């Protein structure tokens, strides 16, 4: 007879639309930069990485580019080509072989793409704006440039790119797709009035600023059905220079769209005091969104196991997605069940993005740690 797991609320199954998660400890999207040689194409090292972490209730993949003009991160994977689609299949199969559930996060970076990736051309965004800071490129960091405002043709083409990416994700065998609407990337650039200065039907009121998000979601839902589609939002404070003067109005309008469309799940990026995105002086919006959206709500960022269990137990959310802890703890859910200590990340942040197996697939599981200790 085995002991009951610690933090029992996290080990209850969860139904999200057509999806059935075996626990409520999800793996958050984590950019890892291992799709190297050729750039943007998944590989066998990624297969090992995702297989190792397949005990999560659901894996949300690293942000995955929907087009060449939407991806500006060295060695991040894409899903716009046949080669990329075929290369994702063994990764998905590996997770399924372990009984896991995996959702692809669909990503367009908007103004965060550096011209290095665009043959010297400027990126585009909701409006003519410039992100603060510098972009990561294979030639080192380079200052962001001013993006051009998207035309209606640009918007239509990009929505079509979301549709094609969703179709490719389905061909690759994923269980679900998640629209990346957070962290200052393209959808977020449309949502927030700090970066959306348009005076047409895509700008102005909060409802108008949700239009691009809605159109992207409609294209994805047309491929998948709403019961296998989710979205990620980051409604609290500045993200890469993308901010809003009235987050409750903006993200309340977004939540109403998501509820109306009947999406299976909504993940909110809500950093704590030591988080890497966002301000701590901005009130969290999850309570407002919980009132407006009746589907599965997933909260993310800077959680301990106890805090996650408390929020699921209280009904504040239905699941918690862990990010950085899953980097160094491939069996995070087993450690939580056993009440064990987490491995610390090593060589941070180099190991997060440097395209080698070290700091990626070489972390020991709890069982391996115990075996090594017993052999010593």
Q: SS3 for 204?
A: coil
Q: Which helix (H) or strand (E) holds 177?
A: strand 176-180
Q: What region does 284 belong to: left with phi over 0, alpha with psi -120 to 50, or beta?
A: beta
Which residues are within 8 A (CB) of 351 and not within 5 positions of it... i.e. 6 or more apart? 327, 345, 358, 359, 360
Cα(332)–Cα(134) distance, integer angstroms? 33
Q: Which residue has the tokens 């080698």?
A: 356
Check: CB of residue 21 under 8 Å from CB of residue 316. Answer: no
Nearest-CA neighbor of 187 among 229, 165, 216?
Answer: 216
Active site residue 185: yes
Q: Rounded to whole angstroms, how far apart are CA atoms 32 and 23? A: 24
- Spatial CB neighbours of 15, under 8 Å, sequence gap ≥ 6: 21, 296
Three-class DSSP category at 149: strand
Catalytic pick from 185, 326, 360, 363? 185
C-beta separation of 41 from 74 below 8 A: no
Enzyme catalytic residues: 185
């Amino acid at each position: 007879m085995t002991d009951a797991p610690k933090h029992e609320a996290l080990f209850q199954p969860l139904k999200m639309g057509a999806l059935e998660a075996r626990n409520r400890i999800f793996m958050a999207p984590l950019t890892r930069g291992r799709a190297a040689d050729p750039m943007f194409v998944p590989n066998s090292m990624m297969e090992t990485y995702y297989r190792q972490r397949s005990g999560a209730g659901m894996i949300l993949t690293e942000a995955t580019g929907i087009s060449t003009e939407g991806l500006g991160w060295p060695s991040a994977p894409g899903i716009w080509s046949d080669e990329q689609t075929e290369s994702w299949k063994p990764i998905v199969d590996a997770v399924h072989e372990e009984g896991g559930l995996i959702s692809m996060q669909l990503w367009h970076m908007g103004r965060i793409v550096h011209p290095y990736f665009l043959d010297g051309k400027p990126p585009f965004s909701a409006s003519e704006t410039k992100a603060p800071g510098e972009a990561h490129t294979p030639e080192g960091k380079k200052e962001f440039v001013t993006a051009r405002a998207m035309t209606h043709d640009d918007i239509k083409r990009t929505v079509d790119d979301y549709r094609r990416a969703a179709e490719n994700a389905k061909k690759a065998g994923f269980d679900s797709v998640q629209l990346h609407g957070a962290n200052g990337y393209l959808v977020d650039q449309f949502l927030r009035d700090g970066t959306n200065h348009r005076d047409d039907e895509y700008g102005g009121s909060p409802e108008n600023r949700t239009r691009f998000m809605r159109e992207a979601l409609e294209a994805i839902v047309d491929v998948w059905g709403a019961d296998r589609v989710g979205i990620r939002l980051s409604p609290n404070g500045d993200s890469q220079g993308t901010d809003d003067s009235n987050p409750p109005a903006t993200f309340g309008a977004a939540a109403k769209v998501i509820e109306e469309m009947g999406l299976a799940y909504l993940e909110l990026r809500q950093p704590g005091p030591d988080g890497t995105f966002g301000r701590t002086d901005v009130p969290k919006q999850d309570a407002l969104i919980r009132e407006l959206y009746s589907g599965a709500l997933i909260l993310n960022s800077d959680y301990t196991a106890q805090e996650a269990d408390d929020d699921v137990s209280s009904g504040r959310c239905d699941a918690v997605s862990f990010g950085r802890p899953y980097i160094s703890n491939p069996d995070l859910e087993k450690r939580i069940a056993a009440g064990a200590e987490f491995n610390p990340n090593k060589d941070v942040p180099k190991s997060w993005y440097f395209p080698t197996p070290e700091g990626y697939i070489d972390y020991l599981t709890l069982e391996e740690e115990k075996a090594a200790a017993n052999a010593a």
